[in-house]
Amino acid sequence: MKPTIITSKTNLPNTSNKPFNPCCFMKNKFIGFLILSLFGIFITHAQQKTSLSVHDAVAMALEKSNAVGLAQTKVATKKYERQAIQNNQYPDVKLSGQYMRLTNADINLQNQSNTANNSGEAKPVNQLLLGQANVSLPIFSGFKLKNSIEASENLYESEIANAEHTKEETAIKVIEYYAALYKAQQTVELLQESLKSSNQRVTDFTASEQNGIIARNDLLKAQLQVSKIQLNLDEAQKNVKMINYYLITLLKLAPETLLVVSPSNIDPNLFNNLPRTEAEAIENRKDLTSLRLLEKASESNIKVAKSGYYPALNFSAGYIALDLQNTITVENAMNVGVGLSYNLSSLFKNGKEVKVAKSKAIELQKQEAELTDAVKIQIKNAQEDYQLALKQDQVYGESVGQSAENYRIVKDKYDNGLSNTNDLLEADVEQLSAKINLANAKANVALKYYELLNATGQLLESFNLSKN
């Protein structure tokens, strides 16, 4: 008796008693192929598959990221603030002109008779024209201006360093999503392959069970394995969708874009540049650089606060033109001089301002010390993680071959009645796990390498994007 092959549940049962017709079968097959082709074209247009390298993904994020855009705007703001403070060292030039209508003013010029016409009648005085031009320039302000400019320069440079750090954080976030997407996509592919072979095993076991070759519980075990793989596949596909959504949102791509990560971009052989030493890394970290520049600015602010203890000296020059109707005209009235001023209240107020400035400087020093320790720990942890990732990649690479050989041996024993179904299914699961672990390990090598570059302040440099 020939074994009966049962089709899968997705296939429609053959309810017709007519004999099998090859011509009709080929016709139906052609129609089905045509429908599937058209559906595939529709799906392709609906969801745009895009192959994107990790370099292009990072570059795109740095160009379009909201966080990077905000950081660049802050840099521009600090630049304008610096320019505004620098402009204080240049002369102030003021021009003014006034026209005033008077109410028949009474004018009494000492040592002169009232202006009157020949009949003795006083001429009306009801208009005043006044024009002024003044120039003032600070000569000495207790070094306030000089130190304010230095503080603004350091604040501007600090904001630039902070913007670079924001770029680094954005880049590593993209890489994390990128590696996660690779893991999820590889898991989906491996699970799909395993599901296909598991379904075939169920088909074979069904035929064997109906012919009394195997027990029914062996078939149930195979079917249970299919169910488990399907559940894992559903979860992996969900992960692909969500990670893809996170990444395209960060990259400002169209919602229908489906990113495809090529295995060639997750190759440990690509990574051969050794990171810097700890000392070089600490010196190169942009967040530490930003904090050091803030410290310099705080030192300048202390000097700015102390400038209140000194008097201010200014140079001034001006020109006045005046015309009082029918009374007096003043022309070429020029003045040049210096002015000295001192705020007596600074003797009482400036002491607190200086203390505030010094306290802020101490705060920044403590923050730098704390951040330096955190960076050292981050670097050490990144180094260990990278070395571990390399070892795991090697071990899992070997385990793929070992699990494949183990499955071959178990399968051969099973076919010869020397092994049971549990052994076969277990060997199959171990083989699948080894493949998934290897795919994850390769992604982890890349991820941990880039995390090490980020910890040592080399991430943007490795992509040649530090100037972007």
The per-residue pLDDT for range 62-96, each reduced to its tens digit, is: 999 999 999 999 999 999 999 999 888 888 888 88
Classify domain 47-109+121-462 at the CATH class level: mainly alpha
- Tens of pLDDT, residues 311-323: 888 888 888 888 8
Mean pLDDT of 404-420: 93
**What's the pLDDT score for residue 6?**
28
**What's the pLDDT score for residue 166?**
96
**What's the pLDDT score for residue 468?**
47
Cα 82 from Cα 86, distance rounded (Å): 6
pLDDT at residue 5 above 50?
no
**What's the pLDDT score for residue 76?**
96
**What's the pLDDT score for residue 335?**
80
Is the pTM of the predicted complex or chain greater than 0.85?
Answer: no
More confident residue, 124 or 47: 124
Cα 317 from Cα 137, distance rounded (Å): 9
Q: What is the mean pLDDT of the chain?
A: 83
CB 266 within 8 A of CB 53: no
Candidates 167, 193, 159, 177; CA nearest to 54 is 177
Cα 253 from Cα 373, distance rounded (Å): 38
**What's the pLDDT score for residue 271?**
64
| Residue boundaries of the structural domains of the chain | 47-109+121-462
**What's the pLDDT score for residue 273?**
66
pLDDT at residue 35 above 60?
no
Pairing of strands 312-324, 127-140: antiparallel
**What's the pLDDT score for residue 32?**
44
Pairing of strands 92-101, 257-260: unpaired
- Tens of pLDDT, residues 160-191: 999 999 999 999 999 999 999 999 999 999 99
Q: What three-state secondary structure class fits 50?
A: strand
**What's the pLDDT score for residue 15?**
32
Ranking 137-141, 166-170, 379-383 by mean pLDDT, the lowest is 137-141
Cα 64 from Cα 51, distance rounded (Å): 18
Reported confidence tier of residue 429, pLDDT bands at 50, 70, 90:
very high
CB 86 within 8 A of CB 184: no
Mean pLDDT of 235-240: 97
Reported confidence tier of residue 42, pLDDT bands at 50, 70, 90:
very low
pLDDT at residue 39 above 60?
no
**What's the pLDDT score for residue 325?**
73
